[in-house]
Amino acid sequence: MKKFLTTAFLFCVAVAAFAQGAEPSATASFFAGKYLAHLSLAIGAAGCGLGQGKAVAAACEGIARNPQAAGNIRTTMIIGLALIEALVIYVLVAAFAVK
């Protein structure tokens, strides 16, 4: 829980730092427009990929330990994977909104 709160705090600080208004320049910054959208999509996809990998590994381990519960474990895993994949779709929608 402590790691989560620390990460959330750092994220809020980073958002506040980048939200400060700056004078527009003629050249595009790396953290503006399409570059930020692509970066956020890459980070979101990487994080969700890691989460899905851990979920599948844990489900395989659970099925190996208790084969009778394979149906329940598989159903729960598929629902969890769908929710994890929804996060990437939300990032994709946000990336299109930034563009």
Q: What is the CATH number of the domain that holds 63?
A: 1.20.20.10
Domain that holds residue 72: 49-99
| Greater pLDDT, 88 or 30 | 88
- String of DSSP letters for 39-75: HHHHHHHHHHHHHHHHHHHHHHHHHHH-GGGHHHHHH
> pTM for the complete prediction?
0.59
Position 4 in a domain: no
**Distance, CA of 61 to CA of 66 (rounded, Å):** 9
Q: Name the domain count of the chain.
A: 1
Average pLDDT over residues 54-80: 92
pLDDT (0 to 100) of residue 31: 57
pLDDT at residue 84 above 70? yes
**Distance, CA of 72 to CA of 22 (rounded, Å):** 53
User: How high does pLDDT run on average in the chain?
Assistant: 78
